[in-house]
Structure 1
């Protein structure tokens, strides 16, 4: 598989991971909310909010793929893929801390291993550092998105 073929396959891998979260997250959050009733972060979660944010993230991913293809420069797109790999460690840490399986861990590990194999050390090591910044931007986007959707949904 060529790198470009992998880049075009990656959105499917991303959505496979997101599908696991979409299916299992509502019941997971319900159980966790009972265990941690005063957790303010959990109050921002609704299936609608989560699905809307997944759509937004997918559109950002597809836009970056399109632009990478148009300009024949996949560095930013690759940093997004590497940030995705890093985010799986968050699932792993949550699973360890909560002592419960966190939705997305299995597909995250499998898709990340596949992504690592297909990146084939094609990019300079500093791109892996830049990917930490990319991950930070993604996390900030997620937090702001949840806050905006929470605020909008509570106005009604």
Structure 2
């Protein structure tokens, strides 16, 4: 498999991970919201208003926004040989997956992202290793892109959720008469 092909798989792996969240988040929150509030009140105070109030359609809209940006950046990185930039995106995604692993350990049970996090981790580690072995990335530049990408991913998450809330309002007003 070429480096470009390996890089091109990132949007696919990202979406496989996001599908678990799209499918499982609402039912998991419905079942575990009260327990989340009891065990982790500070987390619940931030998570439940953000995610619990969104419909699956609105949450999927946020994921779509993230997917489009990741796909555009991935294919720009392939087209222009921006391997360090792409490796930074990969490290940001890897960090995201590791956060999910930590969340699951703290929860001590299934969380609606752990199965695909565990499945995506080997791809991330292999891809990063393959890029390093091929010599197309440098540790310093990749580290800088990794920090920048991680910050941008979390800022974009805020934007994506804000857009999702607007989308939710638009759905409510546009399709309210159909109910």
TM-score by length of 1: 0.86
1:3-152 superposed matches below 5 A: 3-35=3-35, 36=37, 39-45=45-51, 46=54, 47-120=56-129, 121-122=132-133, 123-126=137-140, 127-150=142-165
* 1:17, distance to aligned residue in structure 2 (A): 0.8
Residue by residue, what CA displacement relative to the aligned partner does 1:22-74 show, whole Å, maximum 9, x if unpaired? 11111111123222186243122122232111101110011112222332222
Contact 1:44–1:147 at 8 Å: present in 2 too?
no
CA contact (8 A) 1:33 1:39 kept: no
Secondary structure class of the residue paired with 1:39: helix
Relative to structure 1, the CA distance from residue 16 to residue 78 in structure 2 (aligned partners, 3 Å threshold; closer, same or farther) is same
> Equivalents in 2 of 1:20, 1:153: separation in Å?
21
What's 2:177 paired with?
none
How many residue pairs match? The answer is 156
Shift of residue 129 of structure 1?
4.8
8 A contact 2:61–2:167 mirrored in 1: no
1:78, distance to aligned residue in structure 2 (A)? 1.9
Name the CA shift for 1:9/1:15 in 2 (closer, same or farther; >3 Å).
Answer: same
**What is the aligned-residue RMSD (CA, Å)?**
2.2
User: Post-superposition shift, 1:115?
Assistant: 2.1
Gaps (5+ residues) in structure 1? none
Cα distance in structure 1, aligned partners of 2:124 and 2:108:
27
Runs of 4+ displaced beyond 6 Å: none
